[in-house]
Structure 1
């Protein structure tokens, strides 16, 4: 199924200076000293398109006036294209701040046309831009529907007959080649594409040239379309200049998410996953310049979805105290790995996938700190308190470390369910150890004698039973020359 999504950014000249998620500060964009775009606050103050700078400042002295920046617009459009690469590798740039996406092969993966359009719209809004979408079986048709915006009665169509009916109703001046002939078309009463198609083709070509007819043929599926796809660069690096000095780390999340969306698209396009990202917080330059503050996020398993990365980064930023205001953000991807294929098991595990468990651990590490989320590492040692050690859960363990060469007979020996962190000295009553009640030895002695190199230990371990039939793991230290009677300790409890 052939289907295209057109993305039009109608407020791009304004939103490169004042993103949609920023507070309206009365921004105005000029082109050749005349107003090209203005924010809602400026419009409410009386600013109109075509007005000169002096008139703007007279109506709104506090207005933030900017000269149009084609370079910023190109960078912003490329950032949106990078984010869209997570949905399809076939993304092309078109005229007047628009993008075209061939999504025919992606519909099933993302749940159909409506679900995909919702995701695309949400991503573009998260990037800070107002977007108008159009869906059609042809790229130029999707472009026209997206450019029409609210003027089109329907901006999504998947069948060619429906597209023809909708295109026939669109304003002819949406086509750039038709605008230079606007007066002539008005004079002959031709205002829509449907009326244009009823005009004699040879005469129309002599009057308006070939470009207009080529655009119409492409939109109606009468001629092939060629596109130059946007390619993801070899290495990822993204930067965002903030529009104000930020003193609160949590306020940086909106800008950081914009960079993470670009990273997600780049990872999907390159079929990679990332194990570590670094968000650089740039501070003011000059005599009081400070080096960037680096916020690292390490992942237990490689990831490529922005939702998970945003959650982890949000936890890190919530605990960060800024030493200086932030004026810019930069994002780097480190420790890249090939993207693992999706595991679509016929019988999924009821407790969730391994990926879900690793994401939960990563979230705990972000909230509690790496030093507070630990995993057990077995050690080849007979001494119970030395048989394992605790290491950070995100520490990479080799197979040799995970499968320590334990003594061959240690697995057959009885071990308690709960090993106490520190043995408890037991009282002696009638020459028997006492713990709530006199303890009766229910097993033969197991001697553990080890550690001559770092604290020698010689103990005789027993399974002891109390009067309530609870089982305990106790040991008796070897009697030394100066000891009159043995010392007993409780070291564990059986389930």
Structure 2
């Protein structure tokens, strides 16, 4: 989408294959020669674009992921169509008319012009999509046989069978009605086997099995604003809609993710990006939107934003979680959600986790890491340990038989012996729980090699 006044026409083989509404209003239609297009649009700023099949394929694959929320039986047809098998899901979507309306609205929101066709076979649906110019004419006529619906369609639509169509035209057969009136034996004598097989599939004379689509563990979608904007608040609504569609895709595929990326498509120049991380895998669109809004508040756009792209490339299988039967915790915010909010507001490295490590010496048995998102489950130990451990043991003064730290210490329990590093620098310690004159419990130990005392930690 562009906000300038330049008219754009896509050209392939010296002929126009598509154009926007403004160009079409000036008399340009698909199929016109390039010279005719230039003549009709003389006096207007014009830009002729070459067709990009690779980009079209990327778009079709992205739409195929979206269409998976409608039906799992879908396929790419030729090089510019997406076909859905909807016969088994009409009841779920409220009937054919409501489903067509939904598809039209969703594709229009994504900036696509749709030509929809409905038929009992892939070939017939494709033909009807080539001849119907609006969703209202896409539905088959009630009670009309398939042959009657195909009769007025010209054979030149079958560009992949140019030789067969040319041979039929010489015999005066130019429309499907005339073709279907021919005896099958006569048709097979005039046309190739591939063409006859195509007609058999068109008329449902043979049954064709369509394999269900299995989406890749990645996701991408785009929403176009229809205008340019630098106002962050105007981007919230399309972002929310993209996340709703994304969440529906995750539920359908039973996937989750910890990371999404926003690309804000600018009219000119580079498109800013926004990365959003979560402390756990989930598919909740509201949580993703809350984190995205917090990060979006700090983002400023120097250029007009015309579209928003949502990408998730790190999808994993969803993990089942137990639910509270009596909903006693429904008003309690999960810890992971609070962590996500703090990280979105303060930065990813601002919130860290404390983890255990399989070491005997206390100063080595825990570590802090902001990158790890969950701590491994550990067996509960019946050992009394302080929550606050010093980074390294601090010396304690001794006067005679009395220990001092701030003031005199009184040992109330112990000892507990810990030994380690016998292979390099042997360590042997006797640990005690003591308390200060003010009643503060502390964790101290005596080094059995040099008989010195040290403070290891402080109890709450």
- TM-score normalized by the length of structure 1: 0.54
CA offsets, 1:263-309, max 9 Å, x none? 457525532244653324588999xx89x54253869994367xx68
Aligned: 1:91 with 2:74: yes
State the alpha-carbon separation in 1 of the partners of residues 28 and 141 from structure 2.
Answer: 40
Counterpart selection for 2:216 from 208, 221, 233: 233
What are the residue-to-residue correspondences of 1:80-229 with 2, within 5 Å? 80-150=63-133, 154-157=137-140, 162-177=145-160, 179-182=162-165, 185-186=168-169, 188-227=171-210, 229=212
Counterpart-to-counterpart distance in 2, 1:221 and 1:38 = 34
Q: 1:112/1:24 Cα in 2 relative to 1: closer, same or farther (>3 Å)? A: farther
1:39 matches 2:20:
yes
Indicate yes or no: 2:8 matched with 1:27.
Answer: yes
1:45 and 1:188, CA in 2 relative to 1: closer, same or farther beyond 3 A?
same
Shift of the alpha carbon at 1:61? 4.6
Find the aligned partners of 1:161 and 1:284 in 2 and give their Cα distance.
Answer: 48
**1:276-355 to 2 correspondences below 5 Å:** 277-281=260-264, 293-294=273-274, 296=276, 302-303=282-283, 319=297, 321-325=299-303, 329=309, 331-332=311-312, 338=318
CA separation of 1:72 and 1:334: change in aligned 2, threshold 3 A:
closer
CA distance in 1, matches of 2:123, 2:332: 45
Residues 232 and 269 in structure 1, CA contact (< 8 A), matched pair in contact too: no
Deviations 1:162-202 (A, max 9, x none): 44432334333333445555555455553432321111222
Query: By how many angstroms is 1:312 displaced?
Result: 5.5
Q: Secondary structure at the match of 2:151?
A: helix
Counterpart-to-counterpart distance in 1, 2:20 and 2:114? 15
Asked whether the equivalents of residues 239 and 329 of structure 1 are also in contact (C-alpha less than 8 Å), the reply is: yes
1:30 & 1:265 partners in 2: Cα distance?
Answer: 37
Q: How many Å separate the matches in 1 of 2:5 and 2:215? A: 33
SS of 1:234's equivalent in the other structure is coil
Look up the match of 2:60: 77
Kindly provide the CA deviation profile for residues 214-269 of structure 1, in whole angstroms up to 9, marking residues without a partner as x.
22221221112244554311344668999998644456569857965874575255
Q: Aligned partners of 1:85 and 1:233: how far apart in 2? A: 11
Unaligned runs of at least 5 residues, structure 1: 1-17, 344-348, 372-394, 400-450, 455-495
| Structure 1 range deviating more: 33-42 or 80-89 | 33-42
How many residue pairs are counted as aligned between the two chains? 359
Instruction: Note if contact 2:28-2:40 (Cα within 8 Å) is conserved in structure 1.
Output: no
| Higher RCO structure, 1 or 2 (CA under 8 Å, sep 6+) | 1
Change (3 A) 1:67 1:112: same
Structure 2 length normalisation: TM-score?
A: 0.57
Distance (Å, rounded) in 1 between the aligned partners of 2:78 and 2:191: 19
Distance of 2:134 and 2:178 partners within structure 1: 17
- 1:239 and 1:143 map into 2 onto residues whose CA distance is 25
1:357 and 1:165 map into 2 onto residues whose CA distance is: 63
SS at match of 1:132: coil
Report deviation, 1:338. 1.9
Does the C-alpha gap of structure 1 residues 110 and 275 become closer, same or farther in structure 2, counting only changes over 3 Å? Answer: farther
Unaligned runs of 5+ in 2: 347-372, 378-437, 442-460
Task: State the distance in 2 between where 1:196 and 1:264 align.
Answer: 48
1:136-157 Cα shifts (integer Å, max 9, x gaps): 3333222222222138985224
Deviations 1:96-154 (A, max 9, x none): 51111123332333223223222222222222211122233333222222222138985
2:276 partner SS? strand
**1:81 to partner: Cα distance:** 0.8
Contact 1:42 1:63 (8 Å CA) reproduced: no
Output one character per residue of 1:40-78: Cα deviation in whole Å (capped at 9) or x when no partner: 323445556212399369714522332111111111111
- Matched position secondary structure for 2:106: helix
The whole-number CA distance in structure 1 between the counterparts of 2:267 and 2:41 is 32
Native 8 Å contact 1:273 1:336 kept in 2:
yes
Distance in 2 (alpha carbons) for counterparts of 1:340 and 1:254: 30
Residues 317 and 161 from structure 1, CA distance in 2 versus in 1: closer, same or farther, beyond 3 angstroms? farther
Q: CA–CA distance in 1 between the matches of 2:22 and 2:39?
A: 12
Q: Check 1:259–1:67 CA distance in 2 against 1; reply closer, same or farther (3 A cut).
A: farther
8 Å CA contact retained: 2:259, 2:275: no
